[in-house]
Chains A and B, each alone.
Chain A
């Protein structure tokens, strides 16, 4: 006999995050203390070294090193991989908390099996969990409002990131997505298959683009390029920097659909793994 699922309440993600931060008192603290959120929800946090557990390796040798976090609702446990750094671990915990408090998520993730949960639905749930995790880390509009007191530059996001215990990447993403002015960030990732010591052969490709709503309205929502960026490209200017997070100013030329090109001011920086190009309007 089919089991009827209760209709989840129609609540905005922002309101759930705001309520959780307020109810736990986390809204009065920076960075957001994940322990306060876990305690309130009656969740425990455990770490496992999935790579070293024989049963994991036997059962799924290709997965053990791919795990970031897991949520067991019946045991009320958030499990994270012991090998995660502090920032990915924090994000993993916030992400699982988000699954736990988002209406529909627990029912869908746990009572629909892999046959009924389509890849599309799964991606939507993951995207929603990341969105709510960002609401918790950046405390709604608090990060954006604070950032507007400082210059319009990715340096602002980089400098505020430690205060929110956020990675450079998540801080720059949030800064860009929520900024009222036209701006975008293009994220480049290293091409795989190149030995770490083979610096001369190092190449990057565009991983994704994030834009502010004004930028998307005026220009474009993403930059696509199938080509790889090798030495000689502007983005390699960040390799000369003495410190991660330092910024190089440059220009970005983007081909329009019609004739001509836009020329934007841009700032390049690296977090040691990826290269970020923060682009600001107006175009020249």
Chain B
């Protein structure tokens, strides 16, 4: 949850020196340097000052974890074996500027479906 705080902080500093950023937020350079080495996110006024100076939201330092991958994997595995033989037509993705009627679109989907079936 809080990994890589220092790495993220270093990236935001860009080509400015540690001394410059530390001075801008009112921290000793050594304290700032240690922040760039740590994984955990500091709390309270230090975090607020950093975010204010660097122009990012606090959320930036709290990347979401990927704990939903397992249910998603189960879903994908079911999808790859699912039988769709009853599906009646295809869905065609047209360019955004295409102005077509629903009837034209339905007819076109039908023809593409037949074309695919015969290939």
Q: Report which A residues bind B (CB closer than 8 A).
A: 9, 11-12, 14-16, 18-20, 22-23, 40-42, 46, 48, 53, 55-56, 59-60, 62-63, 66-77, 79, 92, 95-96, 99-101, 103, 106, 109-111, 113-115, 126, 141, 148-149, 151-152, 180-182, 213-214, 217, 281-282
Contacts and interface: CB of A to CB of B under 8 A. Distances in A.
Interface in B42-94: 54-57, 60, 63-64, 66, 68-69, 71-73, 75-77, 79-80, 84-94
B37 interface: no
B84 A19 contact: no
A151 B72 contact: no
A20 B79 CA distance: 11
B116 A72 contact: yes
B93 A16 contact: no
Interface stretch (B19-27, B28-36, B106-114): B106-114
Contacts of A95: 93
B113 A18 contact: no
A75 B85 CA distance: 7
Given A40-B80, A73-B84, 20 more contacts: A16-B75, A19-B73, A40-B76, A41-B76, A60-B108, A62-B99, A62-B100, A67-B108, A69-B93, A72-B90, A73-B90, A74-B87, A74-B113, A76-B84, A101-B75, A103-B75, A110-B87, A148-B8, A151-B14, A180-B57
B119 interface: yes
Contacts of B89: 110
Interface of B: 8, 11-12, 14-15, 54-57, 60, 63-64, 66, 68-69, 71-73, 75-77, 79-80, 84-95, 97-100, 102, 104-109, 111-113, 115-117, 119
B76 A16 contact: yes
A23 B105 contact: no
A69 B108 CA distance: 12
Contacts of B57: 180, 213-214, 217
B79 A100 contact: yes
Contacts of B68: 11-12, 14-15
Contact of A79 (B86, B99, B116): B116
Contacts of A180: 12, 56-57, 60
B104 A101 contact: no
